[in-house]
A and B are shown apart, each in its own frame.
Chain A
Amino acid sequence: MMIPVRCFSCGKVIGEHWEEFEDRARDGDEDPAAVLDDLGVDRHCCRRMMVSHRDLVDVVSPYQ
């Protein structure tokens, strides 16, 4: 639903980088790998958190 606060595997806080990642790589046209390197998300366990995430809050909110 929302980006998890921490990486499931190692516990690094990754939630704070989501909005920038979304702006630059999802909605923007930058290379996701380069954006993640730039954000300091180095380990592949943390990178998959960002790459495989989908925000669903807007999808769910009409069904309150």
Chain B
Amino acid sequence: MADEFDVEYIRGDDREARILVRGLTPAFANGLRRAMIADVPTLSIDTLRVVENSSVMFDEMIGLRLGLVPLTTPDDFEYGDTVTLSLDVEGPDTAYSGDLESSDPDVNPADEDVPIIQLNENPSGENQRIELEAEAVLDDGKSHAKQSGGVAVGYRHLRKVSVVGDRGEFDEEETNILRGVIETEDGELVPTDEFDHDLTERYPGKELEVEDVPGAFVFHVETDGSMTVEELVLRGIDSIESRADELQEKVAV
């Protein structure tokens, strides 16, 4: 494996990006993918103390919904650390994730507009109300999917597309679907959605050759908002590094 990796951002924002990495082995690429899904810890609500819940949902259902709301996770937390959040909403109204009040200014719901529960008026004329305290805990994706910072993280080989000639005059034009990112003969990187994932749109009437570029992987990284894409990738790498160091230390003579 190469000592240095060549990393290139193809397209992306804070929540979603395509990143090209050259010089990886398939095993390491998969290791990085798995680290981003299961080994980068995030904060998620795990326990509730319910003061009042007269909504149409059971406490447990509210707890599940709150757990799935992503919380911004700074990197100075240790496994098992907790943050307390509170929710107090009276109907007729809808309780949103943005109504959660956090005891830590760095830990907040990443999305403010996720509806938790709609509160109406009871048949007896009272307003439904929800009041609770929630405990968010730092843990990783191995314990529960809600603790995973990565959403649909995956990779594909970078494919090189070269024109080898013209299509035969009487050959049928068939669609040539390819998804991911291609490298053209001039070394240009083109995401396939620019030509509707169909190579015949980009190279009409040409005969093409498509081959994998060895050791080049295009990662598609999307986060739930608990951290930026960059942060997720870096923390994934840190996690691999710290485990490799630990192994080295343990087997050292």
Given contacts A61-B56, A62-B123, A64-B123, contact A11 B152 (CB under 8 A): yes
Task: Return the contact of B118 from the options A6, A11, A57, A62 (Cβ within 8 A).
Answer: A57
A16 within 8 A of B: yes
**Chain B residue nearest in CB terms to A19:** B115
B145 within 8 A of A: yes
Given contacts A6-B68, A61-B120, contact A1 B56 (CB under 8 A): yes
Given contacts A1-B56, A5-B65, A64-B122, contact A12 B117 (CB under 8 A): no
- Contacts of A12-64 to chain B: CB distance below 8 A: 12-13, 15-16, 18-19, 43, 55, 57-58, 60-62, 64
B contacts with A, residue count (CB < 8 A)? 29
B177 within 8 A of A: no
Given contacts A13-B111, A57-B120, contact A5 B56 (CB under 8 A): no
In the assembly, what is the distance between CA of A1 and CA of B148, in Å?
Answer: 25
In the assembly, what is the distance between CA of A4 and CA of B145, in Å?
Answer: 15
Task: Return the contact of A3 from the options B56, B115, B151, B225 (Cβ within 8 A).
Answer: B115
In the assembly, what is the distance between CA of A38 and CA of B114, in Å?
Answer: 18
B113 within 8 A of A: yes
Given contacts A5-B65, A10-B152, contact A15 B114 (CB under 8 A): yes
Extra 16 A-B pairs, beta carbons < 8 Å, given A15-B111, A64-B122: A1-B56, A5-B68, A5-B114, A6-B224, A12-B224, A13-B69, A13-B70, A16-B97, A16-B115, A18-B115, A19-B113, A57-B118, A61-B56, A61-B122, A61-B123, A64-B128
A-B contact list, 7 entries, CB within 8 Å:
A5-B114, A15-B114, A19-B115, A60-B56, A64-B54, A64-B56, A64-B123
Closest 8 A-B residue pairs measured CB to CB? A5-B68, A15-B114, A16-B113, A10-B152, A57-B118, A61-B120, A60-B56, A11-B151
CB within 8 Å of A: which residues of B? Answer: 54, 56-57, 61, 65, 68-70, 97, 110-118, 120, 122-123, 128, 145, 148, 151-152, 222, 224-225
CB within 8 Å of B: which residues of A? Answer: 1-6, 10-13, 15-16, 18-19, 43, 55, 57-58, 60-62, 64
